[in-house]
Amino acid sequence: MSASANTSVAIGRRFSVRSKRVLPGFGLSLGISLFFVSLVLLLPLTGLVVETSGMTWDQFWFTITDPRVVESYKVTLWTALAASLFNGCFGLLLAWILVRYDFPGKRILDAFVDLPFALPTAVAGITLATLFAQNGWYGQWLAKLGVEVAFTPLGIVVAMAFTSLPFVVRTVQPVLEELSPADEEAAVSLGASDGRVFRKVIFPALWPALVTGIALSFTRSLGEFGAIIFIAGNTPYVSEVTSLMVFIRLQEYDYAAASAIASVVLLASLILLFAINLWQGRYLRRLEGR
Amino acid sequence: MTTSHRRVGDQPWVRRSLIGIAVLLAMVMLVIPVVVIFAQALSAGWSTFAGNVTDQYTLHAIGLTLFVAALTVPLNLVFGTALAWSVTRFRFPGRKLLITLIDIPFAVSPVIAGLLYLLLYGRNGWLGSWLATHDMQLMFAWPGIVLVTVFVTCPFVARELIPLMQQQGSEEEEAGVVLGASGWRIFRKITLPNIKWALIYGVVLTNARAVGEFGAVSVVSGNVRGQTNTLPLHVELLYQDYNVVGAFASASLLAAIAMLTLVVKAFVEWRQSRPIVSTPEKEVS
Amino acid sequence: MSITIDQISKTFGRFHALRNVGLDIPEGKLTALLGPSGSGKTTLLRIIAGLESSDTGRILFGGEDVSNLHVRDRNIGFVFQHYALFRHLTVAENIAFGLESLPRKQRPSKAEIRQRVEKLLEMIQLPQLADRYPAQLSGGQKQRVALARALATQPRILLLDEPFGALDAKVRKDLRRWLRALHDEFHFTSIFVTHDQEEALELSDQVVVMSQGQVEQVNTPTELYAKPESRFVFDFLGHVNVLSGVIKNQKLVQGDAWISLPGNRSEQKAQLYLRPHEVHLARAPSAFARLPLRIDAVSLIGSEVRIELTPEGWQSEEIWEIGMSHNEFAQQNPSRGELWFAVPDVGHLFSGENSQPKTVDWLYPETANACNV
């Protein structure tokens, strides 16, 4: 009797000792966070599940493999890939000059890199559409070269590249800043050429961040809508992105079809998101030796 | 300068050509588009611009947009701060998952975000049908716009705060606890001054995105002119009506907010890189 | 206020930071927690403070169980390793913070707080820096401000985590002396964590040596240095010369080296530990020891001449170090490359699985034997 009472007291005390947190506000802050995350982020997902579970597998399959929809997957994927690869190169270049060199207007350029995050996508859309239109500032020059951007898939690439530009710059920049000059000097002192030092010393340190940046840029491009619809022309089978397909189905009040297509895109984005997080965790662990 | 101290890519010709290419591309992709927005908005003269901006529907759209932002920003400010506090000051199971979850709005297409809310709160949704029986309609009305805007912009404050708070560590707060300060006092006197600038930038960015959200809002708003039309939707409507100058007039207001956001960001970064100093004197030893 | 640490254990995941630590910290004394990194000393300090909770065990302040008392209510002063000064408050505001955090009833008036802060600023000899921000202070100044801040509420107990770790050598010495003087004046119970043996021995009244989450030995600095109770403490406190070999015919033998150990008959492996000052050098082997060594280096700087030697015809994991006075050095004049013989005066024998050493004295064998009985 007394022994069991003792153990229960001991357990009780152990528990209270364990759950004691030094800093205040654990319950409150986690409570708010969990409440918010469940209500704002997770609860809406149930709507999609309910809607799609009302469909039979055949209906679902038929909807998501509709030729027009399949064509939109293809367009979205290759344009997003092209845009994120372009941003890989351009973003790396921008990060490089912002970190390595001093030149007039550097701070302004640095600030401008974030413009695509701050500028509403619809504004970006009509601006790019105006610039690349046949009689636009860029369009008239490109027309002379025989290149058409507005109302073609190329326009989608331009819109995606614009909206996701900051990702690569902002992931590569900090890594480049922390690169120690000593590593480079060591390599140079061993007689390596600049190109070799870049390939063997600098690039290996940068590429995990570069891949992360490109992946983030790709994910963002997959879902882009506002900037694209103004410049893409939205020709069925040619320049329709998947987000637009969802939107069109919604305009037709075909919620089930919209949900089916959306679930495919959502799944792909979430998988990408988790993969990026895992990948970041892994390479960070390697870098920090944890 | 001797050549022995240079780093990779410091040769003048490499330097110049890299800067040249990057600046040229940045001009084409970032600077000229902004110039175009304002040029187009003013292409028919100042009086037309003023007329476009003070148009009844435009004014209503501005009002609605500001109203949505005024509701969204405080909500996400509280959420972002609470989330950043909980994940940087405590260890608990599921912490990493929580950090990943708040990135969902970044990964989800805005159209799909709108769709999710439409499915849940629309007339046919399981929550929406219940609300409808109680005479509450959230979709195709301002509450729906606020809901999706909160969804789309909820990561920004937290994303600004988490890295900073992680890097600052919790030693100062622990010192506050040892000295007997209450939770609120610790937050107000120690934490808040340390995260003030990041918090401001988070708020400004949240505001920029809340004001500018298009895809998600266009799904749930119903685009009724003079009722549920936000400024970005108004831009689209005018543009589709071939009123390009009018569209750009409204767009220029949004672009001005974006430019202001960039200025705030540059200022905040400058503040954070500076040590805290009250007097200009040097250290006395 | 004395502190009792009763069977404290703490794990972080699979890592055992502390294993059943029991310890008494006497009132009014300055105690050092000494150990290498990962020995659990900082964790123990944080558990005493209440900044960390233990898995099992109790902490008592003056006989009162405070295990479940929040840090806020333990009335301790804590000086953090990196000071943790509030970077957005001035020096004066930092120091006043604890007083201003007191509940309204106990809080002194504004004027009183200002007065107390002024007094503390004088105590730390920095009254001219009251309006500075932490970023404008040097390391030593930050350290003093951190101390003043911790002492402002007149705590019963002062805890310091690596108080001098981040300072350069000169400042460190000054601050050490200053802290000692401060402690002698106010006589609060203090505990400080350090990995620096010199600091621990110089500053404290009592040293607690920790290793791998356990207490190895507790003693006054003098006793600790003279009578280490384990191989770990021996190795950790200053340099030690080791002859490790086998006991045969009352001699510890390895290669060409041997030392006679009268009375040790059993044949077994053993190590003899000798402090640099417990050995002297001779041109020829003595009757009871033959330890041939060749001189590698002679260091004349300091109050003593330090000679580094390598074994000749036998082996040692680390080089040998022998100290001699400048006077002796002038007479004997050993120089690099020469072969000399070490003659032990006192040694400490670890034999077999025994963790406790046995002291062997060749100068006064009778007294040493008497002690060992």
C60 interfacial to chain A (CB closer than 8 Å): no
Write out chain A residues lying below 8 Å of B11, CB-based: 194
Task: Give yes or no for B181 touching C (CB within 8 A).
Answer: yes
Instruction: Report whether pLDDT(A6) > 90.
Output: no
pLDDT tier for residue B3 given thresholds of 50, 70 and 90: very low
| A10 in a structural domain | no
Q: Which residues 253-282 of B are in CB contact (within 8 Å) with C?
A: 275-279
Chain C residues whose CB is inside 8 A of the A17 CB are 53-55, 67-68
CATH number at residue A60: 1.10.3720.10
Average pLDDT taken over every residue of chain C:
88
| Inter-chain CB proximity B179 and C131 less than 8 Å | no
| Chain B residues closer than 8 Å to C131 by CB | 278-279
Is the pLDDT at C112 greater than 90, yes or no? yes
- At residue B248, the 3 state secondary structure works out as helix
Looking at A13, A34, A53, which one is the last position of a domain?
Answer: A53
| Residue C372 scores a pLDDT above 60 | no
Are the C-beta atoms of B99 and B87 separated by less than 8 Å?
yes
B-chain residues near A225 (CB < 8 A): 109-111, 214-215
Does C67 contact chain A (CB < 8 Å)? yes
Same domain, A66 and A166: yes
Same domain, A251 and A162: yes
Average pLDDT score over residue span A123-131: 94
Per-residue pLDDT tens over the stretch C302-352: 888 999 999 998 988 888 999 888 988 888 888 898 999 999 988 888 887
> What radius of gyration, in Å, describes the C-alpha atoms of chain B?
24
- How many Cβ atoms are within 10 Å of C368's Cβ, its own excluded? 16
Give residue B228's Cα distance to chain centre.
Answer: 21
A20-49 residues touching C, CB cutoff 8 A: 20, 22
Which amino acid, residue B70?
A
Chain B residues lying within 8 Å of A281, measured CB to CB: 96
| Chains in contact with A, counting 3 or more C-beta pairs less than 8 Å apart as contact | B, C
DSSP secondary structure letters along B21-52: HHHHHHIIIIIHHHHHHHHHHTTT-HHHHHHH
pLDDT classification of B277: cutoffs 50, 70, 90: low
pLDDT per position as a tens digit, B141-196: 888 999 999 999 999 999 999 988 988 888 999 999 999 898 899 999 999 999 99
User: Tokens 């997003």 sit at which residue?
Assistant: A80
* Chains touching chain B, criterion 3+ CB pairs below 8 Å: A, C
Q: Do B190 and C88 touch (CB under 8 A)?
A: yes
Task: Give the least confident one: A84-88, A237-241, C261-265.
Answer: C261-265
The residue range of the domain holding A48 is 21-53
Confidence of residue C220 (pLDDT cuts 50, 70, 90): very high
Going by pLDDT thresholds of 50, 70 and 90, the confidence category of residue A14 is very low
pLDDT digits (tens, 9 = 90+) for B40-56: 999 988 999 998 889 89
Per-residue pLDDT at C371 exceeds 50: no
Contact state of C68 with A18 under an 8 Å Cβ cutoff: no
Give A173's contacts in chain B (Cβ within 8 Å): none
Reported as a single tens digit per residue, the pLDDT across B248-267 is 999 999 999 999 999 988 88
Cβ–Cβ contact B70 with A under 8 A: no
The pLDDT value given to residue A18: 40
pTM score = 0.84
Same-domain status, A41 and A163? no
Cβ contact A18–C70 (<8 Å): no
- Whole-Å CA distances, C119 to B144, C122, C130, C152: 61, 5, 11, 10
Asked if residue A7 belongs to a domain, the reply is no
The CA distance from B73 to B76, in Å, is 5
Q: Are strands C3-12 and C56-61 parallel, antiparallel or unpaired?
A: antiparallel
Asked if the model's pLDDT at residue C127 lies above 80, the reply is: yes
What angle do the packed helices B32-41 and A121-132 form, to 10 degrees? 90
Residue at A12 is within a domain: no
In this predicted structure, the answer to whether residue C69 has a pLDDT above a threshold of 50 is: yes
Using CB atoms, pick whichever of A14, A17, A22 lies closest to residue C71: A22
State the average pLDDT for chain A: 86
Q: Any idea which of A262-266, B135-139, B207-211 has the lowest mean pLDDT?
A: B135-139
Question: Contact, A224 vs B216, CB < 8 A?
Answer: no
Structural domain spans, chain B? 55-280
Position A3 scores a pLDDT of 42
- Per-residue pLDDT at A9 exceeds 60: no
**A2, part of any domain:** no
> Nearest-CA residue of chain C relative to A20?
C53
Q: Is the pLDDT higher at B282 or at C139?
A: C139
Do A175 and A105 lie in one domain? The reply is yes
Question: Measured between CA atoms, how close is C62 to chain A, in angstroms?
Answer: 20
Among residues A6, A29, A53, which one ends one of the domains?
A53
Name the percent of chain A lying above pLDDT 70: 91
Q: B122-131 pLDDT, tens per residue?
A: 877 788 888 8
CATH topology for B55-280 is: MetI-like fold (1.10.3720)
* Position A31 in a domain: yes
Do A124 and A82 lie in one domain? The reply is yes
Query: What is the C-alpha to C-alpha distance for residues A87 and B169, in angstroms, rounded to an integer?
Result: 34
| pLDDT over threshold 50, residue A290 | no
Mean pLDDT of B228-233: 90
**A66 with A138, same domain?**
yes
- Structural domain contains residue A8: no
Mean pLDDT, residues B110-123 taken together: 90
| Interface check B127 vs A, CB under 8 A | yes
pLDDT given at position A286: 62
Q: Decide if pLDDT at A78 tops 90.
A: yes
Total tally of structural domains belonging to chain A: 2
Nearest residue on chain B to C52, alpha-carbon basis = B174
Of B193, B275, B285, the CB nearest to C135: B275
Question: Which pLDDT value is given to residue B285?
Answer: 37
Residue C373 has pLDDT above 50, yes or no: no
DSSP assignment of B223-243, as one string?
--TTTT--HHHHHHHHHHTT-
List the single best residue of A15, A17, A18 to mutate versus C (max C Cβ within 10 A): A17
